[in-house]
Amino acid sequence: MENHLQRIVNPLLAWYETHRRELPWRRDKDPYHVWVSEIMLQQTRVEAVKKYYVRFIEILPDVQSLSEVPEDRLLKLWEGLGYYSRARNLKRAAERIVRDCGGVFPDTFASLLKLPGVGEYTAGAVASICFDEKVTAVDGNVLRVVARVTGSRENVLLPEVKKQMAAQLLNVLPDNAGTFNEAIMELGETVCLPGGAAKCGECPLSGVCTAHRDGLTSELPVRIKHMKRRQEQRTVFLLMAEDGRIAVEKRPDKGLLAGMYQLPNAEGFLTETEMRAMAEVWGIDVLEIIFIKEAKHAFTHLDWLMKGYQVRVSHSAGEFLWVTPKQLQEQYALPTALKPFAPFPTTAKTAFR
């Protein structure tokens, strides 16, 4: 298998030289830039990341500025990217680099692994691209290319399979490891696409690819998930005072969407009577309840099934933070899951007075 992978090195590098995309984080090999981009790209498409990356670097141009940014400001910059623990880990890592390394970015795979939120893939990407260390960077795109080229029917979601494929790549890794790592990731992102979407006619490896030869591109890689998804019903309250302000609250510092601001919500689909009882517990006088819409949001292992209601109240009360719609838009990071209900509903179906 290793000899088979050896055959991909030269055609892959030649292809990348001609077909590499111009991306904002590829303008230099500054480790801060590469690190931020790699963290943003986890679980997020390249096209979606571009605008976030440019804005982030403009406002937080270096490790020092990232280490000093208030968390609320950081989360607002991150708003829309999701998986907010990534942003918090960026800040924690920046604080450690400033405190323990004098602001100098760690320059080895081993030292990068010690940073919060940095796993083997990110450490390998930064170490190889920025510091020419001969290490692999294996993500889902790379696993897909390797599985198809070699014809592997192993489950790529298993850690041991990922480790095995990383070892196979390491055996064929050229001296310009960073360029090779970028090239194979680029191929997976733009040509060797998932499912039946692979563009084999454009692939420089089609001549050595087992999946292409045997018509298996739609079957490989094998991805078998063992964890069942959980569904949770929630009622979302868009509490609006007569002066136009909206109630938000901060979630606990640990757990799902930790530390983010949210619209008040409760587990289950509540009836009108239950919603009014909840408002009474909050110390809020309800004037009118208007149904907004239903929405669904998928987290990694959990689906939220939501019904949202605009609840007009006589005045701001309860232990909430009451903000204007403009403040909500500009200052507070609202989870994507709750955005369908804020700040104003566009359609109202049922009103309870």
Residues serving a catalytic function are: 38
Contacts for 337-341: CB closer than 8 Å, 24+ residues apart? 337/257, 337/295, 337/297, 337/299, 337/304, 337/306, 338/236, 338/262, 338/263, 338/265, 338/306, 340/292, 340/293, 340/295, 340/306, 340/308, 341/236, 341/238, 341/263, 341/292, 341/293, 341/295, 341/306, 341/308
Nearest to 322 by CA among 261, 243, 246: 246
Kindly calculate the radius of gyration of the chain based on its CA atoms and give it in whole angstroms.
24
Separation between Cα atoms, residue 57 and residue 38, nearest integer Å = 13
Do the beta carbons of residue 1 and residue 150 sit within 8 Å? Answer: yes
Separation between Cα atoms, residue 205 and residue 10, nearest integer Å = 10
Do the beta carbons of residue 135 and residue 124 sit within 8 Å? Answer: yes
Contacts for 196-199: CB closer than 8 Å, 24+ residues apart? 198/148
> How crowded is residue 253: how many other Cβ atoms within 10 Å of its Cβ?
9
Query: Can you say how many angstroms the Cα of residue 180 is from the centroid of all Cα atoms in its chain?
Result: 24
Separation between Cα atoms, residue 339 and residue 278, nearest integer Å = 22
Token output for 147 = 């599985």
Separation between Cα atoms, residue 298 and residue 300, nearest integer Å = 7
